[in-house]
Amino acid sequence: MLWGCSAKQNQELTAAQEQAVAERIAPAGHVVKAGQVVAAVAVSAGGSARAGDAIYNRNCMACHNSGVAGAPMFGDAGAWTARLEKGIETVYTNAINGINGMPARGTCMDCSDEEVIAAIDYLLDNSK
């Protein structure tokens, strides 16, 4: 029988390695029932907001560079005209909460509202 692929078996982890493992396998969230009161939780993962272009490139470009599910495309001013007629605040709200085929926060669940707005501003600044 083959018991392992390494000569090092039962290797002890350092405290830093154990902490890294614990962070990787920690639950991503928890279930909240309707009507249950919960404390507010900060959404941003870092101490300072990430730049709009970084958020866009990591979370938004897959759909907005190709037009997946009707997503208005990066650089296409015409695609944004009707959306912007409803007001920029509506565009921000729709990006944060999701609309039609777009998931809330464009799948960036660790983005703060400010970071989502920065990504929208980056997208719109490059779609004029």
**CA–CA gap between residue 40 and residue 69 (Å, rounded):** 32
**CA–CA gap between residue 102 and residue 96 (Å, rounded):** 10
- pLDDT tens for each residue of 14-70: 888 888 877 778 777 777 778 777 665 545 455 678 899 999 999 999 999 999 888
* Residue bearing tokens 């501003």: 121
For 45-96, give the DSSP string. Answer: SSSSPPPHHHHIIIIIHHHHTTTGGGPPPTT-HHHHHHHHHT-HHHHHHHHH
Which residue has better confidence, 106 or 8?
106
List all residues 6 or more positions away from 91 whose beta carbon is below 8 Å from its beta carbon: 83, 84, 120, 124
Average pLDDT score, the chain: 83
pLDDT at 94 (0 to 100): 94
**CA–CA gap between residue 78 and residue 91 (Å, rounded):** 15
Most confident range (mean pLDDT) of 4-8, 21-25, 35-39, 106-110 is 106-110
Query: Which of these ranges, 37-41, 88-92, 123-127, has the smallest mean pLDDT?
Result: 37-41
Cα 25-29-35 angle, rounded to 5 deg:
160
- Residue 4: pLDDT band (50, 70, 90) is low
pLDDT at 6 (0 to 100): 55
State pTM to two decimals. 0.62
Domains and CATH numbers, the chain: 52-125 (1.10.760.10)
pLDDT at 17 (0 to 100): 83
